[in-house]
Amino acid sequence: MTLDEASKTPYTIDTEPFYLDTDNEIRMFEAAAAARLPVMLKGPTGCGKTRFIEHMAFRLKRPLITVACHEDLFASDLIGRYLLKDDETVWVDGPLTRAVRMGAICYLDEVVEARKDTTVVVHPLTDNRRTLSIDKKGEVIQAHPDFLMVISYNPGYQSVLKDLKQSTRQRFVSLSFDYPEPEDESRIVAIEGKVDHDTAARLVGLAGKIRHIREHGLTEGASTRLLIYAASLIRQGIPFKGACTAALCQPLTDDDRLQETLNDLIDDLI
């Protein structure tokens, strides 16, 4: 076994994920990582935040541990807990603790979905202390030099009741994401969806029109992720309209009036 093979973990990304840098975000993230600064990724659903962090984990050769946050996420889900195993009570590290020990990137996806008393546990990891306290064990862990805390959230999707506290926000440097410019987005859809550029450009053109009607009732515009889904269906032989209906219209809304508007937009491109 080589040294490289021995250093691999279940959290290692072996194949480089495709990512197109659009606003110098790769250089900014590399600088933050070198300075051991926690990073916050802000942007709409499906614009590439998760793909970006996967790309950076590969680029920096660091393990990546991702936690999909939700309202029932407790601090113990991040830190760990005692469990019964073979009639013994044993401590099992949670994902955050594993990341702190091994020097991984810990990515809390959609962090505002988690309970506020849960997110507070990351505070000592995001300042000069870089420590994690495990109260149940009476242990304080000094973070590995390569450990990096990253969170993401969608500012346009939050309410007053679901937003990041200032005491949390001001512990992170922030990178803002949005849907790429049409030419860049067409390239991404063509590569990821494995379709020709003209098909990708039509899908991106449709997405642009959908994003312009958000004020009529759509809570979110068509994401780049959904465009790739539509492209993947087209690649499998599904007609353009059927693919767009299944991958764009139906996921975006259940409102009949909006569905009709979206179908009209599709018909304009056929």
- For the chain, domain boundaries: 3-176, 182-269
Instruction: Please answer whether residues 41 and 172 qualify as being in contact, where contact means their C-beta atoms are separated by less than 8 angstroms.
Output: no
Helix (H, G, I), strand (E, B) or coil at 19: coil
Q: In this predicted model, what pLDDT tens digit does every residue of 248-263 receive, in sequence order?
A: 999 998 888 889 999 9
What's this model's pTM, rounded to 2 decimal places?
0.88
pLDDT at 4 > cutoff 80: no
Q: What value does the mean pLDDT take over residues 224-239?
A: 97
Q: What value does the mean pLDDT take over residues 112-120?
A: 86
Q: What value does the mean pLDDT take over residues 37-65?
A: 96
Q: Report, at the CATH architecture level, how domain 3-176 is classified.
A: 3-Layer(aba) Sandwich (3.40)
Q: In this predicted model, what pLDDT tens digit does every residue of 221-231 receive, in sequence order?
A: 899 999 999 99
Please choose, from the candidates 11, 14, 4, 59, the residue with its C-alpha nearest in 3D space to the C-alpha of residue 33: 59
Residue 35 has what DSSP assignment? Answer: T
pLDDT at 201 > cutoff 50: yes
Q: In this predicted model, what pLDDT tens digit does every residue of 162-195 receive, in sequence order?
A: 677 888 889 999 999 999 999 999 999 999 999 9
Q: In this predicted model, what pLDDT tens digit does every residue of 124-167 receive, in sequence order?
A: 999 999 999 999 999 999 999 999 999 998 886 654 446 778 88
Residue length, the chain?
A: 270
